[in-house]
Structure 1
């Protein structure tokens, strides 16, 4: 297996999605019939999460949503090539119309940050579990509303916080920061660059 940074990140993403839902009795790996999945936001993050899920779990991508028709059409073509059924998902430019179908088991959210909480709450209301990219919201009030909606509707929310659980980063903190190698750390700034092609 080619074990590089990109594969590691993809694997970590899938592991986060699969393990979080498994803790609530949702077995994506051994489902008798495909789990019905929808994606809101067909950019790099959304597609990466979705394509990894297609690789490792018994899922059928039912619908995709994005306001950018070019991104949406490109994603639909890729999904039809990658999922076992070969079917092309339904396409939406309005996430509310997609969620109104009420036929999704899981909704992945990879839209811009300021949409995460609102789209997450609406997905929970529609009866779906939710996996969304960080941040979950732009403020604490929105975050609390999202958690309250998950409790109210009895659904699971998983946030893509892979960096906090990545083994090599945990080891780096233990071996460098915790040992005092850098002295007292009072401020950190970082940037993560992804080549988007």
Structure 2
């Protein structure tokens, strides 16, 4: 029996442990999951802190291409746990460590595919940040790798673990809203300021910039493209559409039990900050056509006043009423004389804590159907987000042919498979 599973599933252990708060349970080494984190500057670090709240987590290694960040996080981790983790600059060396059971991938989007595929191929379970890939071909490769290896892969769409999100979707599925013809999804990010233009420069001391680029095109180092702001450059990510859109469109698709749209058209541009350094649009509207409803995505930077007075959310607009859902709660706005309204029901739990706990539980049980956001769920929404960006970049209405896995448009199909650089190869 694998050491992770030893004792955990026995009735005696469960009966005894249930008498103690989780924070006080003394876990045998065989019950602990040895975790490593690849990319520890942003969400990788947030994910680890959530995991450390669960007593079965044992973080044994950290990896980052920025030595300053790596050493800082190692010191913080040692203060939290009293243990010094092994440190790596190359994730491939980390994956050779047989003591590591599972890895958290918190690197920029353009690295997710290679690292996730390599991790499951090395026998590791994976928690991978959203969006799972930076192209449709990468998304497919990641799904294939999980299916080939059978590893436990949780996608970091932590809203899938929140009570009020799932309660709201259950209400949508009840049919009380009547026929839902339109779903609006939006992210108005007032906190986002212009990315100031900066000159190219030498990478900071301790940064392995060549490794950071990985399969992306070779360019001179520019601080605007590094760390958090990588999100706004096509080489590494897809802007707000893939950053926030993946979280929110996920629930639109979940509520409508939908997968691929028939067509997508999008329009927008750099209307708020036309002269800043970012490449991705700061203002975008995308319209997705499904068989019996439309889904509309909107995003805008520098503005907080989104639909229904919320800076982000999902609105299921039915004949009887509209359900408005966001991270803070949900409510139903009734059509006159057609149904009773529902006052706002507020969120009451921590999605990230529950999401990481769910991953740990499935690592032990090996019941992949218990995952709150498995690889196929992450793939469905990531593909839809990519379609929205592809429609914007082609400037045309694009029609998807799911059984062929491509569009009816040559320009759109050119965006399906990325060109890998620097001797990296897209996984087959």
Deviation of 1:148 after TM superposition, in Å, equals 1.9
Distance (whole Å) between structure 1 residues aligned to residue 121 and residue 106 of structure 2: 18
Determine helix, strand or coil for the equivalent of 2:35.
Answer: strand
Q: Any stretches of 5+ residues in structure 1 without a counterpart?
A: 1-24
Deviation of 1:184 after TM superposition, in Å, equals 6.2
User: In the TM superposition, what whole-angstrom CA distance separates every residue of 1:141-185 from its partner, at most 9, and x where no partner exists?
Assistant: 212222222222231100011224433345567789x877xx964
Q: How does 1:157-196 map to 2 (within 5 A)?
A: 157-170=153-166, 185=182, 187-191=184-188
Query: Normalized per residue, which structure has more strand?
Result: 2
Distance (whole Å) between structure 2 residues aligned to residue 67 and residue 32 of structure 1: 33
Rate the CA distance shift 1:172–1:80 in 2: closer, same or farther, 3 A: same
Identify which of 88, 108, 113 aligns with 1:112. Answer: 108
User: In the TM superposition, what whole-angstrom CA distance separates every residue of 1:30-55 from its partner, at most 9, and x where no partner exists?
Assistant: 86313211000102211111112112
Rate the CA distance shift 1:190–1:173 in 2: closer, same or farther, 3 A: farther
Residue 59 of structure 2: aligned partner: 61
Query: Normalized per residue, which structure has more helix?
Result: 1
Deviation of 1:123 after TM superposition, in Å, equals 0.9
Determine helix, strand or coil for the equivalent of 1:55.
Answer: coil
Q: Does 1:91 align with 2:80?
A: no
Alpha-carbon RMSD: 3.3
User: In the TM superposition, what whole-angstrom CA distance separates every residue of 1:76-121 from its partner, at most 9, and x where no partner exists?
Assistant: 11111222xx121111111111112233101001111111111011
Distance (whole Å) between structure 2 residues aligned to residue 126 and residue 103 of structure 1: 12
Q: Does 1:77 align with 2:62?
A: no
Q: Any stretches of 5+ residues in structure 2 without a counterpart?
A: 10-21, 192-227, 229-428
Distance (whole Å) between structure 1 residues aligned to residue 36 and residue 112 of structure 2: 15
Rate the CA distance shift 1:174–1:185 in 2: closer, same or farther, 3 A: farther
Aligned length: 169
What TM-score results when the alignment is normalised by the length of structure 2? Answer: 0.35
Residue 152 of structure 2: aligned partner: 156
Determine helix, strand or coil for the equivalent of 1:39.
Answer: strand
Q: How does 1:25-40 map to 2 (within 5 A)?
A: 32-33=28-29, 34-40=32-38
What TM-score results when the alignment is normalised by the length of structure 1? Answer: 0.71
State whether residues 104 and 127 of structure 1, in contact with CA within 8 Å, keep that contact through their aligned partners in structure 2: no
Residue 99 of structure 2: aligned partner: 103
Distance (whole Å) between structure 2 residues aligned to residue 164 and residue 186 of structure 1: 18
Distance (whole Å) between structure 1 residues aligned to residue 37 and residue 122 of structure 2: 14
State whether residues 128 and 155 of structure 1, in contact with CA within 8 Å, keep that contact through their aligned partners in structure 2: yes
State whether residues 38 and 61 of structure 1, in contact with CA within 8 Å, keep that contact through their aligned partners in structure 2: yes
User: In the TM superposition, what whole-angstrom CA distance separates every residue of 1:115-144 from its partner, at most 9, and x where no partner exists?
Assistant: 111101111111110001111111232122
Residue 147 of structure 1: aligned partner: 143
